[in-house]
Chains A and B, each alone.
Chain A
């Protein structure tokens, strides 16, 4: 088979798997698991084959016209360059791991068939986005991912948190997608094509008339999808979905789609210095804000969610300094280690019966119960904190080196201001990243108190994929030298200055957190507050859903917990109160958008009920009033009727006489 055929099969197989899963889910439950895992696995293998055949050489392009539109044609096009094939391998790998993990995680779930089919559909859409060479087709995959995310976040729709979170995720990303669509049209209007190759050629020839406008419009969609400030608020709430969904969609792949999109069209963004500075500022705010917020969260998955936002900030920072190689490198390594983090967090939640770090810090022996999750999570946290020699170190270094070169004028793709912004924010965020990674590890695995209850061994399907994903987490950094050929050719190797600097600040962050923990852990006398699932022996997904519900019930909020032994509380000081709520952005959006919308709805309701309905009811009332008047004549007295009859005939007679005289006279 040709490489093109293989590449077409990659998104097609999970799609067929999803369709078959949705059709057969009820009638043939035995086929659901194979239908979920096998097409995704096959797609992953094919993606690896495509990647090895493409080999980082010249991009492979293939296209067939989808439909004649009269103006800009829409093509079913493939554009396989080094970025596309590698990201597809990541998507295939993580999706396969997540499907395998889900077979155990949701083993007793009644809605597993539709869940697995939606995950397959999502995988297919993401692969379509990755391979597509036509922006309209890319948009189709982009929106399918959005709707799949909506369904999967709301998987536990019995809980109010999940319902609210799924709606919020959908609405906030759509808020970014509207400018995104307009930006795509503006781009097509300027360049005359939706094909990525055509657009890039037009940009090289200076064919863009409004580069800043287009770039900013597209950035709105990217900010929504990739959870960048100010449209990031949906991602922490989206943790109300099942853990495998968080791992696949809200950590490794979908949120990376925005970054990937910018990477594909980087010359369009690079044509506008203003857009790059805006992107850099967005990335800087995102990195630092999410780091602070992550330090204050109590839900283990929310810590990871804020950390995802921060790492995506690194990727946008790399794009803002014009180095897409570094951005996609970080995307790949982050996809691997964040998937490990989320999946092992799922194991931890199941074993501990709670998602609250405060409750975990009062349990001992969790490491003995779940050694696989403990070791893989430790490795992944080290990668997250960018400690050498793990993958996160190399990819984060690539970003910081690119920022440093831009700041000092060695690279002139982006303005030096963008470089400085990304460099300073990146180093600050490195401290915060190390701090919250250390806090998460200490609270989850170094708790003191009664032994954690034994719920038996975790299923092999859940623990084995952790080790599969741990391999790239550990070793991916060693491929730095080879990866250069697949990307633009900029060196990705760390430089001594930034390596020492960022590892140093990272170590400082970690040590300070450790010191704070040693200091505060003396306060941990209080017995654990009761945020523990009601049925800890049930299937993992149910335990998680119950944990989410009980967390709100015990602490009043899903984000924080009144825990005096939390080192984050000591480190953040007065900032802690604001960081827990994500710096009150949700409250701000409620005041700015939600309340006016609700008030407008109230107004419309009032107008409908009181104004429009008044006319409707009035017409009925008038008819009834006339009826009442006419009814007065029906007295039932025969003499009255006769009197009226006489009066009428008299009038008629007089009229006849008068008229006869008038006509006779005329």
Chain B
């Protein structure tokens, strides 16, 4: 069998996985897409191992390692997803934005200028709204 077939299949698998990681909203589907990408790599390892006729079968050995690590990874990943779901009632990746930097988070405690006072009052007006949003997200 020509090397091109498994290679092209690996590329297709990887791209599918990549698309899933970047575009899917469900955390479980993202994890599955990560598995697809890993398996594309595994396929490549095995195919090149055969094509290069490696005496020690380093590719196949490495593939076994990868499968073991992938199993551990998916176990931890699914546990996290489960914990997030229990916490928030959703495993939607798009709504997990707690690390986002927002304009509301900016505070200027040292400024004494009149403009700054005006800014701070505006901040104070919007800050509760931002906090409420976060509180809602953590609930």
Contact = CB atoms under 8 A, between A and B. Distances in A.
Contact of A637 (B21, B97, B102, B103): B97
Nearest to B108: A624
A639 interface: yes
Contacts of B103: 628, 631
A646 B99 contact: no
A635 B100 contact: yes
A616 to B, nearest CB: 11
Interface string B99-128: 111110010000001010000000000000
A643 interface: yes
Contacts of B23: 639
Contacts of A643: 22
A229 to B, nearest CB: 48
A642 B99 CA distance: 15
Contact of A646 (B22, B93, B102, B106): B22
B21 A636 contact: no
A205 interface: no
B136 interface: no
A588 interface: no
A637 to B, nearest CB: 6
A639 B27 CA distance: 11
Contacts of B102: 631
B96 interface: yes
B32 to A, nearest CB: 15
Contacts of A638: 93, 96
Contact of A639 (B93, B98, B101, B113): B93
B62 to A, nearest CB: 22
Given A642-B21, A642-B22, A643-B22, A636 B100 contact: yes
A631 B21 contact: no
B97 A646 contact: no
A634 interface: yes
| Chain A binding surface, main DSSP class | helix
Nearest to A635: B100
Interface residues of A, number: 14
Given A628-B103, A631-B101, A636 B96 contact: yes
A639 B99 CA distance: 13
A642 B22 CA distance: 7
B11 to A, nearest CB: 14
Contact of B99 (A624, A627, A636): A636
A646 B15 CA distance: 12
Contacts of B101: 631, 634, 636
A495 to B, nearest CB: 76
A636 B93 contact: no
A631 B103 CA distance: 8
A620 to B, nearest CB: 9
A635 B21 contact: no
Interface string A608-650: 0000000001000000100110010011111100110010000
B18 interface: yes
B100 A639 contact: no
B15 to A, nearest CB: 11
Nearest to B115: A617
Nearest to B99: A636
A415 B132 CA distance: 95
B42 to A, nearest CB: 20
A639 B30 CA distance: 10
Nearest to A624: B106
Nearest to A627: B106
A633 to B, nearest CB: 8
Contacts of A634: 99-101
Interface in B1-56: 18, 21-23, 30
Nearest to A631: B101
A639 B97 contact: no
16 contacts: A628-B103, A631-B102, A634-B99, A634-B101, A635-B97, A636-B99, A636-B100, A637-B96, A637-B97, A637-B100, A639-B30, A639-B93, A639-B94, A642-B22, A646-B18, A646-B22
The 7 closest A-B pairs by CB, nearest first: A636-B100, A636-B97, A634-B101, A631-B101, A636-B99, A639-B22, A643-B22
Given A627-B106, A634-B100, A636-B100, 10 more contacts: A617-B113, A617-B115, A631-B101, A634-B99, A634-B101, A636-B96, A639-B21, A639-B93, A642-B21, A646-B22
